[in-house]
Chains A and B, each alone.
Chain A
């Protein structure tokens, strides 16, 4: 009886891996034929996306995804890491109990709501003060920076808390100020954990769909400035999936494959960093 239950539980435990394998299988099955048909280089580096003419080049979307992601990291990482340092080291306990869940709550807000806010409030501000269409890399980066904050803060706090107490005490005993201790001792010690958090945040930014569709403007060309509108890989899939058929639909699945690769690389890297100790 106990044996049987054990087998049953093992089966359940394997389900996640099985689902992951199924996802990979189906997306590859749908997407690989069109990649082969277009030629891999042509698909990845082609600059023209014209599904009706059978032209499938996703280079502009790859650039779009990268721009938006790095833009959000540029704003989100300093903010997130300093939040984490404050919460882990300086904040009074009472505040931590309120602030930490509040930041976690940022992850709970539906992405469509962020997108809506970006459209109603942020995009007009950018349009009026900086020019351009408003729906742009800048707007998308700002919104994504807030969306990835909880991931970065959460993982970084864990990393900082995992540092043995004597590191900090040793540094303080040598006469270093709190700030010197944080900057020269704690942050370097927590480096790999923080990097893991940043990479996970990057994964979230690359994968985010609905908010990005609403605020990045979705132009299918390669952007020239951060005020230009872009379309990301995720947005490309989501926008055209509704009506795509045949080759067009396969090309969207192929876009999914590229996205899947990005995410897998990021995940593996994050896991590697997270496992490393100091």
Chain B
């Protein structure tokens, strides 16, 4: 009964937005610049801004996160040090996004002088999604049967060879799931981006330009009451993107599990 109501809430949220938004989405809406603060035109700069910022965030957080996970699961034994590291990761996962926004603002925008830019936004987002990527990647690495490591090591592989040639390929789908979830988190985020990347409506031309993501664009449209139609349409695009991302991540994980069982 309560589960039904939770699922109803989900269906309601998605249905409400899609019903309000789909009639306003057109090819032009996706490919035109933002005109008159969002009253007219499309959302192309917001789409580009989102893509660039996500690329920066994932480009930094993914290698760092995967390296952390490899260290935690392959290169060390549990002890005081790993406990401290894990505590840091868990706490970072709980830090609210607005705090990441403040942090990014003071460090990247003000102190390092990047200004309100895609770079500042991407770096702050990277800090935010790092715990997600580490946790999922570590779980994926731990699910690799130890026989994989033993066999590779018994063939004379160094630890690094064991990890890169034998363990990582097996854990790859799981790791990718984490990265995809990180992408999803970055796309839906508003508070971090609005403080670190600003909300310029122009098409960004470099990483040092200010830009808005779709979430920020939607927030501004909705909050300032600029255009309800365009707000609905932006929300619909946003929700569709999130749906695709989550379903991809989930089916990847699902396939991984099923493949393992039959193997």
Contact = CB atoms under 8 A, between A and B. Distances in A.
Interface of A: 1-2, 5-6, 8-10, 12-20, 22-23, 26-27, 30, 78-79, 82-83, 86-87, 91, 97, 99, 101-106, 108-117, 119, 121, 146, 149, 153, 200, 203-204, 206-210, 213-214, 234, 237-238, 241, 252-253, 256, 259-260, 263-264, 266-268, 270-271
Given A1-B158, A209-B190, 20 more contacts: A12-B67, A13-B68, A16-B85, A17-B87, A17-B88, A17-B89, A26-B107, A30-B106, A83-B3, A86-B3, A110-B215, A115-B219, A116-B235, A146-B13, A149-B6, A200-B94, A207-B97, A207-B98, A237-B101, A238-B191
24 contacts: A5-B160, A13-B72, A14-B88, A16-B89, A16-B131, A23-B99, A23-B127, A27-B102, A79-B5, A86-B1, A108-B184, A109-B10, A110-B215, A112-B215, A112-B222, A113-B17, A116-B235, A119-B222, A121-B16, A237-B98, A237-B102, A256-B102, A259-B99, A271-B87
Contact of B223 (A214, A241, A264, A267): A214
Given A210-B190, A237-B102, A13 B235 contact: no
Given A27-B103, A106-B9, A112-B219, A86 B94 contact: no
Contacts of B159: 2, 5-6
A108 B246 contact: yes
Interface of B: 1-3, 5-7, 9-10, 13-14, 16-17, 63-64, 67-68, 70-72, 75-76, 84-85, 87-92, 94-103, 105-107, 127, 130-131, 134, 158-160, 184, 187-191, 194-195, 215, 218-219, 222-223, 231, 235, 238-239, 242-243, 245-246, 250, 254
A167 B67 CA distance: 40
Contact of A15 (B6, B68, B189, B235): B68
Contacts of A86: 1-3
A10 B190 contact: no
A117 B190 contact: no
Nearest to A264: B91
B21 to A, nearest CB: 10
